[in-house]
Each structure stands twice: as C-alpha cells, then as structure tokens.
Amino acid sequence: MAVFRSLKKIEVQIIDDSKGITLVYANNQLAKSKNNISGAAEVGKLVAKKAKDKKIKEVIFDRAGYKYHGKVKAVADGARKGGLVF
C-alpha cells in the first residue's frame, strides 16, 4: 500500500509488486473528502473497503519517505479501521 500526498490531494494504491499492477486505488476526490487529516482517514477507509471487495486482507505500508504523522498516519489508521492488516 503506497501513499502519495501533495498540496491538493492524497492518493493511496495497493500494488502487486510481482506483476507491477495496481490492484486498488483511492484518493480524496473519490472519497469525496477534503485534503485534511479527516479526509485522509476517509481515503484510508475507502481503500480498505475496495481491498476487502477484492479479497485483500494484508498489506505492507509504504509511506514513500513521508514522516509517519498527520495525513499519512490518518490514512494508516483509517485503513486499519476498515479492516486491513499491516
């Protein structure tokens, strides 16, 4: 599960590294939320819901060098609440 954040959006992908394809994708526009901490949590919950639909239960969290606080932490917490295991 890779996280990307910018000034305008936060994006999360669940990627199959062996095949090099994206299995699940979500961002704050798809989650209909703002680019803030509560919106990042909603993105985490959305990606967890989509992952459940594809029968993905366990992921490795890749924060892409971002510090683990604020929006990145909120995405992780939202995904955990949604049922993903890191």
What's the CA gap between 57 and 30, in Å, rounded? 21
Confidence of residue 41 (pLDDT cuts 50, 70, 90): very high
Q: Residue 74 belongs to a domain with what CATH number?
A: 3.30.420.100
pLDDT at 51: 97
pLDDT tens digits, 54-76: 999 999 999 999 999 999 999 99
Nearest residue to 2 via CA among 84, 65, 67, 63: 63
Torsion sign (Cα): 82, 58, 60, 54: negative
Q: Which domain holds residue 67?
A: 2-82
Q: What angle do CA 9, 16, 46 make, to 5 degrees?
A: 40
**Is residue 12 a contact partner of residue 26, using CB atoms and an 8 Å limit?**
yes
Q: Quick one: DSSP state of residue 27?
A: E
What is the domain count for the chain?
1
